[in-house]
Amino acid sequence: MFPEAESVAPAMTAVLTTVLTEGPLSRVALARRLGLSQAAVTKAARPLIEQGYLQELAATERSGPGAGRPASPLAICADREFFVGVKITADELIGVVCDLGAQVRASAHRPLPHTDVDHVLTELGHLVDELLDGPGDYRARTRRLGLAVSGDVDRATGLVRYSPFLHWHDVPLQDLAEKNTSLTVTVENDVKALTTAEHWFGEGVGAESFALVTVGSGIGCGLVVNGRLVSGAHGVAGEIGHVGVDVNGPACHCGGRGCVEAIAGTDAIVRAVGRPGLTFEEAVTLARAGDTAVGAVFARAGDAIGSGIAAVANLVGPSRIVVSGEGLSAYDLFEPHIRAGFQRQAFGAVAQCPLSVRPLPFEQWARGAATVSIQAFVAA
């Protein structure tokens, strides 16, 4: 907590969040936006300015009709603090350093020959050291680390309850990573972390509701409703990959049958093609070359994804849906079937919800992890 700031802490959080995601903004604009008085905004902003997190820009607008003195907008001092974000996959770590405005300043990759927890933590420590001690001298102004992991993650405790691709069960990742790196760690599901970044700094800025669907090894979905990320009582809200779309479909690693992920995940597609040694990229090549059997597998996968998206849209009615993920390399094979499945299953006006494609490399997923740590800092 900033010195003498406890009494204005909620207003400080609101001011800092709003300037961070929507600024620069004048005090007048902030007061209108937040439903606060100008005096309350000034009081909340003062310690943030004194501590170097906000700055006043040159006056650009007048404070009101007939007012003689132009207002000075408040803006973030992006270099005041830095945040590390790391996306953990089954075969590599992708790390970034972001400033307070979530702009990527440095990035690095580190291979993971295997996913044993101790090995991952050792490599994580090396990656963090590489990022913070390299060009830029970030260590002195970095206190927080965000980690993005696939699967069932309890953000409040930093416990990875289940990560199918890492083969982890009940790993206290936050505690272990804090001991390993000496940083304050926040752990979040990777899709929810990416959704947070899109909500604060990307496609979802200003949207009261939207859905981010990711296509890849898993099929994920992050939801923002009424301006807030939806986690649910158990932290697994939005698991579109485990929506059942075919009761007679293949078994899923979750224990269910006919889940979207069991039909449309990249590994599931390769299994369905049924040719030993075939990679996903080779399956894509065959489908594009006109192999009808392989093309049918992609068609079924796209239809399953579209049906899953429609189920989410029918339930929460987002104003927009963004599709991303590493599986977008084959989006031309999926797209018509995703749209057909969505249109068939979407109820009424929900069918009018726009679907947009936004390719996001893994560095952006790591930026999502950093954004989660920025969000935790702002809330603190």
Quick: pLDDT tens for 81-104: 999 999 999 999 999 999 999 999
What CATH number does the domain located at 81-195+364-379 have? 3.30.420.40
Of 1-5, 250-254, 356-360, the poorest mean pLDDT is in 1-5
Q: What is the pLDDT of residue 4?
A: 44
Q: What pLDDT does 2 receive?
A: 45
> What is the location of CATH 1.10.10.10 in the chain?
6-76
Question: Once rounded to an integer, what is the mean pLDDT over residues 253-274?
Answer: 93
pTM score, whole prediction: 0.85
| Structure confidence at residue 69 (pLDDT) | 56
Mean of per-residue pLDDT scores for the chain: 89
pLDDT at 79: 94
The answer on pLDDT for 5 being more than 70 is: no
Between these two residues, 241 and 359, which has the higher pLDDT value? 241
pLDDT in tens, 197-256: 988 898 777 778 889 999 888 888 999 988 888 876 666 677 788 999 998 899 998 889
pLDDT band of residue 6 (cuts 50, 70, 90) is very low
Q: pLDDT at position 236, please?
A: 65
The fold for domain 205-357 equals: Nucleotidyltransferase; domain 5 (3.30.420)
Residues of the chain with CATH 3.30.420.40: 81-195+364-379, 205-357
If DSSP states are collapsed to H, E and C, what string results for the chain? Answer: CCCCCHHHHHHHHHHHHHHHHHCCECHHHHHHHHCCCHHHHHHHHHHHHHCCCEEECCCCEECCCCCCCEECCEEECHHHCEEEEEEECCCEEEEEEEECCCCEEEEEEEECCCCCHHHHHHHHHHHHHHHHHCCCCCHHHEEEEEEEECCEEECCCCEEEEECCCCEEEECHHHHHHHHHCCEEEEEEHHHHHHHHHHHHCCCCCCCCEEEEEECCCEEEEEEECCEECCCCCCCCCCHHHCECCCCCCECCCCCECEHHHHHCHHHHHHHHCCCCCCHHHHHHHHHCCCHHHHHHHHHHHHHHHHHHHHHHHHHCCCCEEEECHHHHHHHHHHHHHHHHHHHHCCHHHHHCCEEECCCCHHHHHHHHHHHHHHHHHHC
Percent of the chain with pLDDT over 90: 65
> For domain 6-76, is the CATH number 1.10.10.10?
yes
